[in-house]
Structure 1
Amino acid sequence: MQLRVLSLLLFTAVLTGCFAEAEAPSAKQPPAQPIDVAAVLYTQYSPEYTFTTRLESPQQVELRPRVSGVIESVEFREGSHVKQGDLLFRIDSRPFAAEVARLEAELDRAKAALGQAQSEAQRAQRLQGRNAMSAEQAESRLSLASQRRAELASVQAAMKAARLNLEFTEVRAPIDGQVSNAFITAGNNVQAGQSVLTSLVATDRLYAYFDVDERTWNASFSDVKADGQTQARLTLAGSARAPQTGELDFIDNQINEQTGTLRVRAVFTAKDAPLRPGAFARIQLKATDSQPTVMVPDRAVGTDLKSRFVLVVNAENVLEYRPVELGRREGTLRVVEAGLEPGERIAANGPARVGPGMPITPRNVEIEAQSLTLAEPQPKAEPSA
């Protein structure tokens, strides 16, 4: 009897221990943590490239005098915008006016001499016709008339040059644009074609030349033509203004063999924009072809010693480790080149406070598409048998 009671007590203790072991794991099971979960963004994406440049004016002039002399006055406000033909400098015109007056008198003398020579030549022809003058004398008078005609033409040419020189004492703007300061002021002597009076740049349009490496051009811009249809955006260094919009109007005819780059130009209208020649700027250019692309929030990407990864939510709402290959960053989004498929769900805030193997309670959120054009989601490929 005692043996039977002892066996019953032992059996009861064993059963109690088994039930305790069975209930222990469930007591330690943590509750599922609620986290933000989003389906990966599947979008039609055109990568945007950035190039650096300095702006150039289509027309730049170093203003030099065409005649030598003394600057009489400066007729413009330094740094102002001027129109073609506006008076900028006056050079002392008195020596040139005196030369014009001298040549006018010389011109009158030459005209009178020519008239007399022509009259004598005509009379010589009449006398020779009546055999009243020798042929030799008649030819001499005809020759003298020709000399007087050449002298008159010479004086007329000198007069034209003298009047041009007198006109050149007024130095005028050759183009529309913005003028710099006066490099030489009143009272100073200047030399024709040598002294630089000021500089003038056209500012209504500005050029931005930049170099695109051969690989990038062939991959993203091979269909671009210099017809003004491809837009480019310009941002000035340190500027908080919205980018200026221009277009490509020039593509060089060959690739530079030494650098492996192609010279390209964008043109921007600068009348109402704070653009200046020589300014440092960044040019943004979108690729012509777009591809359906998977994108995720950049904060959803984690880093370990091996690779970059995201946490994928499976059908049982358990997080799985998934290594990914990343591409360019676009704002708050990151291009995923490999590792994710359209329609898959991820932990939107990344591996903060969660990790692989953890059960979760999903809080569904949407990824902001920003200005990207969404493509139709594609079904996930079925595994081959």
Structure 2
Amino acid sequence: MKKSLVTIAILGCLAYMTGCSESHAEAPAQNAQAFKQPIDVTAVKAYPVQSWFTYTSRLEAVDFVQLRPRVSGNIAAVNFKEGQSVNEGDVLFTLDQRPFVVKVAELEALLANAKAQLSQAERDVKRAARLLKTKSISQEEVEQRRSLLSQYQANVMATQAKLDAAKLDLTYSEVKAPINGIVSRAELTTGNTVQAGTSVLTHLVSNDFVYAYFDINERTWHKQFNQLRGDKQTQVVMQMLGDQEFEHSGVVDFVDNHINRQTGTLRVRAVFAATQQLKPGAFVRVRIAAEDVQQQVLVPEKAIGTDLKNRFVLVTDEQNVLQYRPVTLGERYGVMRAVVTGLKPGDKIAVNGPARVGPGMPIAPQMVEVEPDSKLLVMNAASQTSLLVAERGE
């Protein structure tokens, strides 16, 4: 009986010790699994990209007119609302027309008198020709009458020209818009005296398109843009002061025919459809794409870490352990960055870089898709393929 109790006690102890040893053996494995931190991981991709160069400019109107009167006089009326749209031929200012009307009437009377004198002279010449045949008048007197006829003819022509000029001045007393566009404020108002060709009445700017001029340096021109033409085939984008994005799209419509010797730059012009936002004189930034298209690996900017020597990313291996990988960086593309060396398409990297993890750390990868901002995609007019815009200043 006592032997049985001892045997049972020994077996119980052995079973307990065996259970403890098994639980201790499983603990490290469970702990290791528990310490694998979930990390966002993305597969590296290559994209076709263009490098874009950024230039500053100020918008200019296609047509800009300082409106000046062609005749002197007093302003009788201002016929527009300041800041409104006007059409070519609209009467904007009316000068006091009474002096011009009087001048026209005076010259019409003088012209009538000159024509009467001419008519009389023509009759005298005809009469003299008849009298000459009967020797009733001398040849000298006939020549005098013919000379007088020529004088009266010239007088009629001169008076007619003065009358035409007076009528033209009368039409100029109505100052009309020479273009379609937006009129500024009236610099001079009713009652003021204006001088022909001197006094500025107002300003007009066309409102259909606006220009942005910028200068490309000679080295960049020969390397990146030597095929650029002003044929409206090359697309550009524009950012207004205070905007976050390059929201306005235009085309290159002019490339100068020479390089400026003083600055070593070539003048280029882009044209944009005018909107309420695009005011002449506004400061803007213009981007134009280089001609070549390249395949480049792009990774999120936040995936890149920095140590004392290198830029690096954390790459996951087959055991889901992070490995240190030095990289050489290229241009920035929005929130993405080009990697020239160190990565290839298909490599898996930690999206948030060394912010939460480090080399040699086992992780639980969570695959995510990281794509460039769709607003950075543009349409290349030549190839009709979507390209990425590289942020690159000059």
Compute the TM-score of the two structures, normalised by the length of structure 1: 0.84
Is this contact kept in 2: 1:41–1:367, CA < 8 A? no
Instruction: Give runs of aligned pairs for residues 300-339 of structure 1, distance below 5 A.
Output: 300-339=303-342
Counterpart among 294, 297, 322 of residue 297 in structure 2: 294
Structure-1 separation of matches of 2:333 and 2:197 = 54
From the superposition, tell whether residues 238 and 370 of structure 1 become closer, same or farther in structure 2 (CA, over 3 Å).
Answer: closer
Structure-2 separation of matches of 1:155 and 1:368 = 81
Counterpart among 359, 362, 375 of residue 359 in structure 1: 362
Instruction: Give the match's secondary structure for 1:321.
Output: strand
Q: CA deviation at 1:273?
A: 4.3
Instruction: List gaps (5 residues or longer) in structure 2.
Output: 1-24, 378-384, 388-394
Partner AA of 1:55 in structure 2: L
Q: CA deviation at 1:234?
A: 2.1
From the superposition, tell whether residues 277 and 161 of structure 1 become closer, same or farther in structure 2 (CA, over 3 Å).
Answer: same
Q: CA deviation at 1:374?
A: 8.9
Is this contact kept in 2: 1:43–1:374, CA < 8 A? no
Is this contact kept in 2: 1:70–1:189, CA < 8 A? yes
Deviation per CA, 1:109-145: give whole Å up to 9, x if none.
1000000011101111121123222111111111111
1:211 aligns with 2:215: yes
Partner AA of 1:135 in structure 2: Q
Structure-1 separation of matches of 2:152 and 2:164 = 18
Match of 2:55 in 1: 51
Is this contact kept in 2: 1:42–1:295, CA < 8 A? yes
Structure-2 separation of matches of 1:363 and 1:96 = 87
1:284 aligns with 2:297: no
Partner AA of 1:312 in structure 2: V
Instruction: Give runs of aligned pairs for residues 128-277 of structure 1, distance below 5 A.
Output: 128-239=132-243, 243-270=247-274, 272-277=275-280
Bigger Cα displacement from structure 2, 272-281 vs 183-192: 272-281
Bigger Cα displacement from structure 2, 47-56 vs 194-203: 47-56
Partner AA of 2:325 in structure 1: R
Q: CA deviation at 1:37?
A: 2.5
Match of 1:15 in 2: none
Is this contact kept in 2: 1:76–1:88, CA < 8 A? yes
Structure-2 separation of matches of 1:325 and 1:86 = 63
Bigger Cα displacement from structure 2, 134-143 vs 255-264: 255-264
Match of 1:379 in 2: none
Instruction: Give the match's secondary structure for 1:144.
Output: helix
Structure-2 separation of matches of 1:167 and 1:242 = 47
Instruction: Give the match's secondary structure for 1:47.
Output: strand
Instruction: Give the match's secondary structure for 1:223.
Output: coil
Instruction: Give the match's secondary structure for 1:363.
Output: strand
1:74 aligns with 2:81: no
Match of 2:124 in 1: 120
Instruction: Give the match's secondary structure for 1:166.
Output: helix
Partner AA of 2:331 in structure 1: R
Instruction: Give the match's secondary structure for 2:355.
Output: coil
Partner AA of 1:218 in structure 2: H
From the superposition, tell whether residues 217 and 41 of structure 1 become closer, same or farther in structure 2 (CA, over 3 Å).
Answer: farther
Is this contact kept in 1: 2:313–2:327, CA < 8 A? yes
Deviation per CA, 1:237-260: give whole Å up to 9, x if none.
224787122111011122233333
RMSD: 2.4
Instruction: Give runs of aligned pairs for residues 11-90 of structure 1, distance below 5 A.
Output: 31-90=35-94
Instruction: Give the match's secondary structure for 1:209.
Output: strand
Partner AA of 1:225 in structure 2: R
Partner AA of 1:317 in structure 2: N
Partner AA of 1:80 in structure 2: Q
Q: CA deviation at 1:326?
A: 1.5
Structure-1 separation of matches of 2:238 and 2:350 = 36
Is this contact kept in 2: 1:310–1:347, CA < 8 A? yes
Partner AA of 1:253 in structure 2: N
Counterpart among 347, 350, 367 of residue 350 in structure 2: 347
From the superposition, tell whether residues 87 and 205 of structure 1 become closer, same or farther in structure 2 (CA, over 3 Å).
Answer: same
Structure-1 separation of matches of 2:354 and 2:243 = 36
Partner AA of 2:290 in structure 1: A
Partner AA of 1:305 in structure 2: L
Structure-2 separation of matches of 1:40 and 1:261 = 39
Bigger Cα displacement from structure 2, 351-360 vs 205-214: 351-360
Is this contact kept in 1: 2:94–2:174, CA < 8 A? yes
